[in-house]
Amino acid sequence: MRLWQKIALLNIVIIITMSMLTAFIIRSITINAMRSEGLIQGESIATNLSDRISELLLYEDYYNASEVISEFINKERDLRYIFITDLNGKLFAHTFKEGHPKEMLNWNPIAKDSTKSVQLLNTEEGNITDIAVRIFAGMPAELHIGIKEDRMIKTLNSIRNYMILLTASVIIAGALLSFVLSRMITKPLEQLNEFTDNLSRGDFGRQVQISSRDEVGRLADTFNNLSKELLLYKERTEESYKQMLRTEKLTALGRLSGGLAHEIKNPLMPIKTLFQAFRDNPQITRQDVDIVLSSVEQIDDVVTKFIGFARNDTLNYSDIYVNAIIKDILELIEFQIKEQGISLQIELSKTPPLSGDRPMLKQAIFNILLNAVEAMPEGGKLRVQTSQRGEYIIIDISDTGIGIPAEIQEKIFDPFFTTKKDGTGLGLSISYNIIRMHKGQLQCKSDVGETTFSITLPAANKT
C-alpha cells in the first residue's frame, strides 16, 4: 500500500469513528433530555389530576372519577392510560377499554415512605413511563399515568435520519479531503524518494524542487546541499585520482627510460655515422637524406608515443578492441623486451568490442605487462593471449619471471605494496580499480616458473 493510501485510509477510519461516536453521544443526550423533560411534565400532570380526583375518591364517586380521567386521556396526546386505586389500595377506576392488565398494580408500586414513583415499563407497544403519585399522604390510594415514548421516538428517528445524512456527507467530504491532503503530503515525499534513489546511484549534483516551507521542504534543502557537496567531493576525488594515475604513469615510464634511451639512441646512430662521413666527404646523396629523415621520424614517433601515453585524458567511454590496445602497449615496451632478452609470444584471437575508456584500460594493461617485464631481468618468456568466453573477453598475461610467493599474493593489489627498490606499489591497485570500474575482474596465479594475470571484461552489449 502506498503512503498516501495509508494516510487516506487512516483519516477515513478516524472520520467514521468520530461521526459514529458523535451520533451516539447526541442520541443519548437527546434521550436523557427528553425523558427528564417528559418526567417533569408527567409529574405535574399527575399531581394536577390527583388534586381533581381526590374529592371524588373520598365520596367514592366512581362515575365522575371515570369521566374525569377519560376526558383527561383524550386531551393529553401522550397518555396511554390512567388508573386510580382507592383508600384500600384496590383498583378504583381506569381508562383501559378492553379490560385492564392483570399485574397492573405491581408495575410501579410507591414505596411506603415515598409520595411518588417513576418506572420505565417495557411493553409490547414500546416503552411506557409509569408515573405514580399518592393521592392522600400516608394512604394507599394512588394515581398512575402511563406516558408513551412515541413522540420521543419520532423525534429521535428524525434526529437519526439527519445524523445519517450528516455522517455520510462528512465521510464523503472527509474522504475527498484526506485523499487530496494525503497526496499533497506524499507527493513531495515521493519526489524526495526518487531523488535519493538517484543520489544513491551516484547521480550527484541534481536538485529536487520542493517549494513547501515545512519539514519536508527543509529536508529537501538538506538533500540539495548534500547532493551539491557530493558532486564537489566526487569531482575532487576524481581529480586527485587522475593526478595519481598520471604520476604512476610517469613513474612507470621513467622505469622504461633505459629502453627509451635506447630507442632514441638507435636511430641516432645512422645519423651520427652519416654526419661523420659528411665531414670527410661533403657529398650527400638522396638516399642519405632519406635515412636521416626516417631516423628522425623514428625518434619523433617514440617520443610522441611516450608523451601520448602520459597525457591526462578525461573519462570517455567508447567501443574498444583490446587487441589494438595490447599492440599499442607492446610497441611502447618493445625495446625493453628486446633489451632484457625476453621472447614474446602473442596469441590474439578476434574478440568483440567492449565499452570502456581507452586511456584507462591502456594504463591498466600496461601496468601488468610492465610488471611481467620487470619480473624477468635475466630474460624469459612473455605470453599475451586474448580470448572470448561467452559474453566476456579474457586477457591472459604470463611471464616466466621471479614469481610471486604465496604469502604476498594477497597483498600485491594493495596500494603502496611493492617489493621493488624504486617501485611505487600503485600499478596493480590502479589496474584493479580500472578493471573493476569496467565491471571486470583481475586475477593472479603464480605457480612454479609461471605467473599469470588474467583480466576478464564484459563485452559491450549490442542492445
- Residue 239 — φ and ψ, nearest 5°? -60, -45
Identity of residue 423:
G
CA distance 123 to 65: 26
CB of 376 to ligand ADP, least distance (A): 8
Q: Which of 268, 257, 338 is nearest to 298 (CA)?
A: 268
Question: Measured from the CB atom, is 250 or 289 closer to ligand ADP?
Answer: 250
Residue 267 lies near Mg ion (rule: CB under 5 A): no
Give just the sign of the alpha carbon dihedral 290, 294, 299, 303: positive
CA distance 347 to 381: 13
Q: Which long-range contacts (CB under 8 A, 24 or more apart) does 221-227 make?
A: 223/192, 223/195, 223/196, 223/199, 226/199, 227/195, 227/199
Question: Measured from the CB atom, is 270 or 423 closer to ligand ADP?
Answer: 423
Q: 101: which 3 cell numbers?
A: 392488565
- Residue 419 — φ and ψ, nearest 5°? -115, 10
Of ligand ADP, Mg ion, none, which one sits near residue 404, judging by CB under 5 to 8 A according to partner kind?
ligand ADP
CB of 306 to ligand ADP, least distance (A): 18
**C-alpha pair distances (Å), 377 with each of 14, 153, 176, 341, 370:** 83, 112, 82, 8, 12
Residue 433 lies near ligand ADP (rule: CB under 6 A): no
Cα atoms in the 13 Å half-sphere on the side-chain side of 12: 16
CB 387 within 8 A of CB 349: yes
Identity of residue 189:
L
Residue 451 lies near ligand ADP (rule: CB under 6 A): yes
CA distance 113 to 110: 8
Which residue is at the shortest CB distance from ligand ADP?
A: 427
Residue 423 lies near ligand ADP (rule: CB under 6 A): yes
Among 151, 272, 311, 420, binds ligand ADP (CB under 6 A): 420
Label residues 341-358 b or e (16+ Cβ within 10 Å = b): ebeeeeebeebeebebbb
CB of 453 to Mg ion, least distance (A): 11
| Binding positions for ligand ADP, 380-419, rule CB under 6 A | 399, 401-404, 412, 417-419
Burial of 47 (0-12, 13-18, 19+ CB in 10 A): middle
Q: Which stretch binds ligand ADP (CB under 6 A): 6-14, 263-271, 367-375, 434-442?
A: 367-375
CB of 437 to ligand ADP, least distance (A): 17
CB of 406 to ligand ADP, least distance (A): 12
Of ligand ADP, Mg ion, none, which one sits near residue 257, judging by CB under 5 to 8 A according to partner kind?
none
Question: Measured from the CB atom, is 49 or 395 closer to ligand ADP?
Answer: 395
Among 375, 384, 393, 455, binds ligand ADP (CB under 6 A): 375
CB of 427 to Mg ion, least distance (A): 3
What stretches of 138-214 show up as alpha helix (H) in DSSP?
150-200
Residue 436 lies near ligand ADP (rule: CB under 6 A): no
With CB under 6 A as the rule, give the number of residues binding ligand ADP: 22
Residue 427 lies near Mg ion (rule: CB under 5 A): yes
Question: Measured from the CB atom, is 186 or 367 closer to ligand ADP?
Answer: 367
Binding letters toward ligand ADP, positions 70-109, x by CB under 6 A: ----------------------------------------
Question: Measured from the CB atom, is 45 or 365 closer to ligand ADP?
Answer: 365
Of Mg ion, ligand ADP, none, which one sits near residue 440, judging by CB under 5 to 8 A according to partner kind?
none
Looking at the DSSP assignment, which residues form a beta bridge with residue 144? 83, 132
Question: Measured from the CB atom, is 103 or 378 closer to ligand ADP?
Answer: 378
Among 227, 371, 398, 429, binds Mg ion (CB under 5 A): 371
Of Mg ion, ligand ADP, none, which one sits near residue 417, judging by CB under 5 to 8 A according to partner kind?
ligand ADP
CB of 369 to Mg ion, least distance (A): 10
- Residue 32 — φ and ψ, nearest 5°? -60, -45
Of ligand ADP, Mg ion, none, which one sits near residue 419, judging by CB under 5 to 8 A according to partner kind?
ligand ADP
Q: Which of 397, 246, 370 is nearest to 309 (CA)?
A: 246
| Binding positions for ligand ADP, 304-333, rule CB under 6 A | none
Question: Measured from the CB atom, is 108 or 371 closer to Mg ion?
Answer: 371
Of Mg ion, ligand ADP, none, which one sits near residue 402, judging by CB under 5 to 8 A according to partner kind?
ligand ADP
Dihedral of CA atoms 11, 15, 17, 22 in degrees, nearest 10, equals 160
CA distance 132 to 179: 57
Question: Measured from the CB atom, is 41 or 456 closer to ligand ADP?
Answer: 456
DSSP assignment of 326-369, as one string?
A: HHHHHHHHHHHHHHTTEEEEEEE-----EEEEHHHHHHHHHHHH
Binding site for ligand ADP (CB under 6 A): 367, 371-372, 375, 399, 401-404, 412, 417-420, 423-429, 451
The residues that touch Mg ion, with contacts defined as CB under 5 A, are 371, 427
